[in-house]
A and B are shown apart, each in its own frame.
Chain A
Amino acid sequence: MGAQLRVYKRRIRSVTATKKITKAMEMIAASRVVKAQRKVAASTPYAEELTRAVTAVGTGSNTKHPLTTAAETVTRSAVLLLTSDRGLAGAFNSNAIKAAEQLTERLEREGRQVETYIVGRRGVAHYNFRERTIAESWTGFTDEPSYADAKKVAAPLIEAIQKDTAEGGVDELHIVYTEFVSMMTQTAIDKRMLPLSLDEVAQESSAKDEILPLYDFEPSAEDVLDALLPRYVESRIYNALLQSAASKHAATRRAMKSATDNAGELINTLSRLANAARQAEITQEISEIVGGASALADATAGSDK
């Protein structure tokens, strides 16, 4: 076997191995997307009921709460960025980080101090590498977030927003995450989560057209709101975490699919080249044999004379 041919054969073997790996990763990601979507669906009843309850309190009473009242002058904002722990997901993480950076820039232009909270190792690594300060970060659960994880993330944020700005608290909370639109489309979006605008909540509620009954609050409207709003924030963060996880798996699936396709294409090209090399080798051998034979024939014909 010629040297050229051997090199091609070796490269085909290595690309085939890579293709098998990416194919497996694609299939794993595909099954995880379905699982993540199912989790999003399973958490919907809770989120819906909670939204309904918040709407009910919001419309049924004039209670004021630190989580719903906007500060007159916003001096400090918190940005919560959701990324993933692992890469190999195409532009998933860089899109989310880019969206967070644009938001940060916009807020800073408006003269606000921005505190960044990050979920996911990728985002943390990105910020650490650029030596930017991170207020707090969480890692290790982005593939399959549980409600307890969402609670863990929400607790310091709610605490920060309830604190006075002068004592290091924040006035508003933005969240940047990747919305799962469909298997093919995931978009990084930013939303202002706190202070909550009850009108917006009411619009989100599925029951926007129906008139809500006048509820009897137990023990009182203030206490209900007090207990309800942190739960609502937690449930929104949980939903964002789940969507982000589903988006990450979908992005991985797509990235791995194109990697598999590219590997297939590369194998095709390489086997064509290998075939050509083999053919060239055979042609050369034949011409060498023919050349040698005719030289021999010429020599014998000459000696016959």
Chain B
Amino acid sequence: MAAELHVALVAADREVWSGEATLVVARTTSGDIGVMPGHQPLLGVLESGPVTIRKSDGGTVVAAVHGGFISFADNKLSLLAEIAELSDEIDVQRAQQELERAKAEGDEAAQRRADVRLRAAAAR
């Protein structure tokens, strides 16, 4: 069996997902980073973006993460985010509407949030 790492995806007000995984890909401020078991201890700042978690049973979890941190040590990876949603929790229609509204109002932060949601939902 391939080596595993324990992943905890934690939002400010709840634990969104936790379990074993073989690979986690997230976007930090200096580019995408992939973490596999045995990675060196790491602490980074996350950008808004989709996070992909390859589960040890072969499945994939995609989540939209808005700002936060990634920290890895002792084969335990934590993804801290103020807001985090799993891709199947995302309401595509609402995100689409949100994107259009944000574009119309020129609200860049909202536009980015909606965009991240849509990308995460598309990747599922």
Contacts and interface: CB of A to CB of B under 8 A. Distances in A.
Interface of A: 39, 42-43, 45-46, 49-50, 52-53, 56-57, 146-147, 151, 212-219, 223-224, 227-228, 231, 234-235, 238
A217 B33 CA distance: 12
20 contacts: A43-B13, A45-B10, A49-B8, A49-B71, A50-B80, A53-B71, A56-B71, A147-B13, A212-B73, A213-B41, A215-B41, A215-B43, A217-B42, A218-B29, A218-B44, A219-B44, A224-B45, A228-B69, A231-B69, A238-B13
Interface in B38-95: 40-45, 68-71, 73-74, 78, 80, 82
B12 interface: yes
B42 A46 contact: no
B15 interface: yes
A42 B68 CA distance: 17
Nearest to B29: A219
Contact of A57 (B14, B43, B70): B43
Given A50-B80, A216-B41, A218-B28, A147 B71 contact: no
Interface of B: 8, 10-15, 28-30, 33, 40-45, 68-71, 73-74, 78, 80, 82
A28 B114 CA distance: 37
Nearest to A52: B71
Contacts of B78: 49
A108 B29 CA distance: 43
B21 to A, nearest CB: 17
Contacts of A227: 45, 69
A26 B74 CA distance: 47
Contact of A213 (B29, B74, B82): B74
Contact of A46 (B12, B33, B43): B12
Nearest to A218: B44
Contact of B43 (A42, A53, A234): A53
B29 A223 contact: yes
A14 to B, nearest CB: 43
Contacts of B15: 42, 45
A52 B71 CA distance: 10
A47 to B, nearest CB: 9
Nearest to B73: A213
A229 to B, nearest CB: 12
A217 B44 contact: yes
A144 to B, nearest CB: 11
A192 B87 CA distance: 40
Contacts of A223: 29, 45
Contacts of B73: 56, 212-213, 215
Contacts of B12: 43, 46, 147, 234-235, 238
Given A45-B10, A214-B41, A235-B12, 20 more contacts: A39-B13, A43-B13, A43-B14, A46-B10, A46-B80, A49-B71, A52-B71, A53-B69, A56-B43, A213-B74, A218-B30, A218-B44, A218-B70, A219-B28, A219-B45, A224-B44, A227-B45, A231-B68, A231-B80, A238-B12
Contacts of B80: 46, 49-50, 53, 231
Contacts of A219: 28-30, 44-45
A49 B10 contact: yes
A215 B80 CA distance: 16
Nearest to B33: A218
Contacts of B41: 213-216
Nearest first, the 6 A-B pairs at minimum CB distance are A218-B44, A213-B41, A147-B12, A219-B30, A215-B43, A227-B45
A147 B82 contact: yes
Nearest to A214: B41
Contacts of B70: 218
A210 to B, nearest CB: 9
